[in-house]
Copies of this chain bind each other. A is one copy, B any other.
Amino acid sequence: MFLKNCWYVGAWSHELAAGNVIGRTIIGEPVALYRTQEGALHAVADRCPHRWVPLSLGRVEGDALRCGYHGLVFGPDGRCQHIPGADRIVPGANVRTFPVEERDSWLWVWMGDPARADPALIPSAFGLNDPRWTMRADQIDYAANYMLINDNLLDLSHVDFVHEKTLGAATDYGWSDEVPRVKPLNRGVRIERWLTGRRQSQTNPNLVDTWSTYDYLAPGVFIMENKSYPHGMAERCGFGEPGDKPMTYRVEQQAVAPINDRETRYFFATGFDATNLPGHLVEGIFSLVMSAFKEDRAIIEAQQLLWDRTDASMAKAFIPSDKAPAMFRRIMDSLIREEEAAGAAAAA
């Protein structure tokens, strides 16, 4: 069961060059994303209405898409414009279109009712070309349901265990010592914490306090900021939000994009404060982040296999650090129920 009236990340902007088409599956639906030579972006169902072949195996012609099997041509409105060997357009020769927006280097696709597609609901992220940041981006696929990945990102106590030798060590641990503050947002949650008195890095023993916060927004967008200050800052600002300029500043943006209920694409970028990070450290830290995601994937894919063969009625233990994932699951459940009720009402 997926939320439909929602913007899903379909691709990084740079994955789709002008004049190209790519096929993606989003919440189980095949979507063809294409960009004209002039740069206009369109999204249509990736299934030719003739014989159900992916349109993404075809090609862009002008502002239209031509099927690679028997050559039918579909415009950005989804209507067939040409049928080889035919003198008129036959009935039923059209495809569904999807609202699509390009924002912060991501292509966002609205999978529900087009009339309700509101660009204001697109989570605000950091573009890869934002001059404030040196950004590195990539993506990996998980053989797991997206909610298991959301759970992972919403409870960072796992950093001390799953990433013991990578991110845990790099951030001097302490992610599992206390449960962070969790606040509900509109369609998401906000998580805030101070990690105090940690070594600045594995090679720098100076102690720092880090203000680490992230918004986690439906259906699975993670936008994090980590700002470090000299030790003592947390206490000086009463463990609230600091106002001063930090010593180091890093951002993370990640999008959990369900392919179907057992596969998920995971888009991520790390941004380093362009003004104070020596360039030669960027690749080292990003490769650490990549290693950490592979650690997550190993755990989560093993978890999915175990869920698949465990009776769903078996109880799970609820622990304090489950607060944020549980709150987010409730929010998602209520958005999905709302949408279904609206659908049922519309159908009645």
**Which of A's residues lie within 8 Å of B, judged by CB?**
28, 30, 47, 49-54, 57-58, 66-72, 80, 83-86, 90-93, 151, 155, 157-158, 160-162, 176-179, 298-299, 302-303, 306-307, 309-310, 314-321
Contact = CB atoms under 8 A, between A and B. Distances in A.
Given A53-B303, A57-B302, A306-B47, A316 B92 contact: yes
Given A84-B157, A85-B179, A179-B85, A70 B302 contact: no
Contacts of A309: 28, 30
Contacts of A54: 302-303, 306
Contacts of A28: 309
B299 A69 contact: yes
A320 B53 CA distance: 18
Given A69-B161, A85-B179, A161-B70, A317 B53 contact: no
Contacts of A85: 157, 176-179, 319-321
B321 A84 contact: yes
A181 to B, nearest CB: 13
A160 to B, nearest CB: 6
Contacts of A299: 53, 57, 68-69
Contacts of A306: 30, 47, 52-54
B49 A302 contact: no
A307 B161 contact: no
B317 A91 contact: yes
B303 A86 contact: no
Q: Which 3 A-B pairs have the closest CB atoms?
A: A84-B176, A93-B317, A92-B317
A176 B57 contact: no
Contacts of A67: 161
Contact of A316 (B49, B58, B155, B158): B49
12 contacts: A52-B307, A57-B299, A58-B161, A68-B162, A69-B158, A69-B162, A71-B161, A72-B317, A72-B319, A80-B317, A90-B319, A92-B317
A221 to B, nearest CB: 22
Given A162-B68, A309-B28, A319 B50 contact: yes
A92 B49 CA distance: 52
A2 to B, nearest CB: 14
Contact of A176 (B51, B71, B302, B307): B71
Contacts of A72: 317, 319
A320 B86 contact: yes
A109 B91 CA distance: 42
